[in-house]
Amino acid sequence: MKLLASTETVLVSAQSLDSLWHEAEHLGKVSVDSTWGDAYRVRICFDRKSGTTVWAEGRNTKIEFALADAINEAREMGAG
């Protein structure tokens, strides 16, 4: 029985915002919030095989990094 799936880290410099967004949408429902100049918060909502709904989140002052962090967390939590 395999408990932990291998994860692939997203390299932001190698991907455009469009390709990151496309990858995030492939994993689940994507939402973005921003505060007044502080940071972006990206959330990816997905359902696990058990039926549990999970939110993966990334925060950063650059939208690309916040999106990549959310993608990495979602993959670590079993999305995709």
The pLDDT assigned to 2 comes to: 45
DSSP-derived pairing of the beta strands 53-60 and 29-34: unpaired
Query: Is residue 19 domain-resident?
Result: no
Place of tokens 């990206």: 42
Task: Collect all residues with Cβ–Cβ distance below 8 Å to 44 and sequence separation of at least 6.
Answer: 24, 27, 28, 29, 30, 55, 56, 57, 70, 71, 73, 74, 79
Domain that holds residue 75: 30-80
The pLDDT assigned to 75 comes to: 95
Of 1, 13, 20, give the one whose Cα is nearest residue 74.
20
Query: Is residue 3 domain-resident?
Result: no
Query: Is residue 68 domain-resident?
Result: yes
Query: Is residue 50 domain-resident?
Result: yes
pLDDT 10s digits, 65-74: 999 999 999 9
Q: Are 56 and 70 in contact (CB under 8 A)?
A: yes
Query: Is residue 43 domain-resident?
Result: yes
Question: Count of domains in the chain?
Answer: 1
What are the angstrom distances between the C-alpha of 61 and each of 33, 47, 70? Answer: 11, 27, 13
Q: Write down the pTM of the prediction.
A: 0.79
pLDDT 10s digits, 16-39: 889 999 999 999 999 999 987 789
Query: Is residue 57 domain-resident?
Result: yes
